[in-house]
Amino acid sequence: MKFKITLAILCCATFSFANEALIKKAKDSGLKAIPANKSELMKLIDTDPKDPITDAKVELGKKLYFDPRLSRSNLISCNTCHNLALGGADGVPAAIGHGWTANPFHLNSPTVYNSVFFKAQFWDGRSPHLADQAAGPIQAGPEMAAPPALVEQRINSIPAYVEEFKNAYGKDTKVDFKIITETIATFEKTLVTPSRFDDFLNGDSKALTKAEQDGLNLFLSKGCTACHTGIALGGTMQPFQIANQYKFISVGGFKGDENGMVKTPTLRNITQTAPYFHNGQFWSLSDAIKEMGSVQLGIKINDAEASKIITFLKTLDGRMPDFVYPQLPASTEETAKPTFD
């Protein structure tokens, strides 16, 4: 009996040591956890001392995020393409916007969850700022197609909105396009989804099962962290088609930035954000993993290996923020009417 107890203790100690070694390996490979401590998390997301995150700004930003009146047609909100009930994406290969127009480059809508951790916004990485990301689709013809002046007119024509801006920013606040998009970005900064993977990296060696740890180890060993690294496991600009040509490169004709660099998608909540790649051509996560092995790493990942990696990726399904769909303030007679041209 004593021998069995001793053996069990030794097995547990060995397993714990192996877990700790894997945590170190993951961190050494560039993976970082979302901080478990709220104050540490706020240090990462609340970085502008001139515009600190407050409950009033977050609540106002949430209303604006869900408000379709920020689009020309009064039909499209930020949540249309970045649906918070669908992993922060829209579940279609190419974003659909004003006039039922598909994105001209057949670009897929990236998730908005954890976008505060991205080093680059947009597939071509043209801005690092969330407010710019919010401003772009609102104005873009194939998306929300609303000029800044129209957005400003609509918001300022609604007294309840004007009052909320004064409460959030001060009584002398001018409600212009800049502060509107910055407020949306403030809400988006709070869309953080810590997961069991973070628990594991933060020191809970039992947060992942043996199979999940094996998947993580394989993910690291295959070299996936060459692109999928940091807190977001993505969100940085990386060269595309390093080893082989992407199977569907001709769909949409997107070439990346001027240097052929493309923003690496986050792997957080990846099981919820199909279809995959910038042009949404892969619906199978297993096939997407195998394609990445070929295109970026120049290696063959077989079905069994892809399955093990997926077992790990499922641990990145995070704990979603809990919020209530907002009741939006009513329009007035002065609020600009929708147009559909």
Catalytic residues: 143
Using only the alpha carbons of the chain, give its radius of gyration.
22
To the question of whether residue 129 is assigned a binding role by annotation, the answer is: no
The answer to whether residues 220 and 104 touch, using CB atoms and an 8 Å cutoff, is: no
- Cα distances from 87 to residues 91, 97, 313, 316, in angstroms, run 9, 19, 14, 12
What's at 76, amino acid-wise? I
- Could you give the CA distance from residue 305 to residue 297 in angstroms, rounded to a whole number? 14
Element (H, E) at 134: helix 130-139
> Quick check: helix, strand or coil at residue 17?
helix
Which DSSP symbol is given to 71? S
- Could you give the CA distance from residue 35 to residue 107 in angstroms, rounded to a whole number? 32
169-177 contacts, C-beta under 8 A, 24 or more apart:
169/57, 176/148, 176/152, 177/135, 177/148, 177/149, 177/151, 177/152
- Could you give the CA distance from residue 11 to residue 154 in angstroms, rounded to a whole number? 65
- Could you give the CA distance from residue 280 to residue 106 in angstroms, rounded to a whole number? 8
To the question of whether residue 228 is assigned a binding role by annotation, the answer is: yes
To the question of whether residue 11 is assigned a binding role by annotation, the answer is: no
Peptide bond into 142 cis (omega under 30): no
To the question of whether residue 224 is assigned a binding role by annotation, the answer is: yes
Q: Which residues are annotated as a binding site?
A: 78, 81-82, 98, 224, 227-228, 292
Q: Which residues are annotated as a binding site for heme c?
A: 78, 81-82, 98, 224, 227-228, 292
